[in-house]
Chain A
Amino acid sequence: MRREKSGGLALTGLDPFAVQLLREIPEAGADSDPAVQARLHPSPAGGKLQAEVEPDWEEYVRPELRSLFEEARTVVQRDLSRMKAEIVAQPDGPAEPTFRLAIPSRNFDAWLSALNQARLALAARHHFTEADMNDHARFPIASERDLRLFQIDLYGLIQEMIVRRLAGPDLRPAAEPDADL
């Protein structure tokens, strides 16, 4: 992952497997599974208050949130569609294509949202628990569970890089050269 002069981030050397997982970000967040929808649109209150608050929330707030979430996924979809193939010569074999994904800094918030939607949706759909999330011994990937946990981790890694850029005191000016992170 590289920091670009423009202030954005670039993921380079992506293999087809990583590319496939990245391309699943928008659709993962759009999952209509009830467990997913319940997690992406939780109730704003519990107990006795829930019945009082829920109707207005459903009528006024959730439609706006759904719209904002969809906008974020659309931005990410657009960035993903601009992914570029790079042919890297191999010293002992045929050249293999890898891919480069640029995430402009103006789209950081959309990426944070879409990545988070996807991570939460995958966890809800597969009913992952805290113990699952803390189980990092899943190589080689041997099951659907392993794959989805790996996918959540991959998205989390990108999310972490973006958070660091947004939260850190060192947002470098555009004049600085690209740098590996």
Chain B
Amino acid sequence: MPAAPDILEQTAQSTQLDTPWNVVVHNDPINLMSYVTLVFQRVFEYPKEKATKHMLEVHELGRSVVWTGLREKAEFYVQQLHQHLLLSTLEKSDGA
């Protein structure tokens, strides 16, 4: 009876895409609407229409997801938004 081959090492590999991260801007009653629009244009290089849409979402709904992507870049954007004194947070896009 042939001997069973020894299994020296068993490895398993899996790859998983990083969960996307959201950059969220929250409403505050102090920041001017025109200023918030300008900041979105500058930080994300959004055209005025898109920047205005997000500004109105913030104003009317209380928050807007203004960008989604890798965590490192999301943190960078939140830092930029804080530099412009907007209330901004990052969150996992699955809501965690």
Contacts and interface: CB of A to CB of B under 8 A. Distances in A.
Main DSSP-derived SS at the B contact region: mixed
Interface in B37-96: 37-38, 41, 48, 75, 78-79, 82-85, 87-92, 96
Contacts of B75: 44, 53
A78 interface: no
Main DSSP-derived SS at the A contact region: helix
B90 A116 contact: no
A114 to B, nearest CB: 10
B2 interface: no
A15 B85 CA distance: 30
A116 B85 contact: yes
A123 B90 CA distance: 24
Contacts of A45: 89-91
Nearest to B41: A167
B34 A65 contact: no
Contact of B82 (A41, A53, A119): A41
A81 interface: no
Q: Which of B30, B84, B88, B89 has the most CB of A within 10 A?
A: B30
A133 B30 contact: yes
Interface residues of A, number: 34
Given A43-B89, A44-B75, A116 B82 contact: no
B interface residue count range (under 10 / 10 to 19 / 20 to 34 / 35 or more)? 20 to 34
Nearest to B92: A49
A160 B87 contact: no
A113 interface: yes
Nearest to A120: B30
B17 interface: no
A166 B78 contact: no
Contacts of A68: 83
B32 A65 contact: no
Nearest to B24: A46
Contacts of B84: 113, 116
B38 A123 contact: no
Nearest to B34: A163
A156 B32 contact: yes
B45 to A, nearest CB: 14
Contacts of A134: 29
Given A159-B35, A160-B34, A49 B85 contact: no
Q: Which of B82, B84, B92 has the most CB of A within 10 A?
A: B82
A40 B30 CA distance: 12
Interface of B: 28-32, 34-35, 37-38, 41, 48, 75, 78-79, 82-85, 87-92, 96
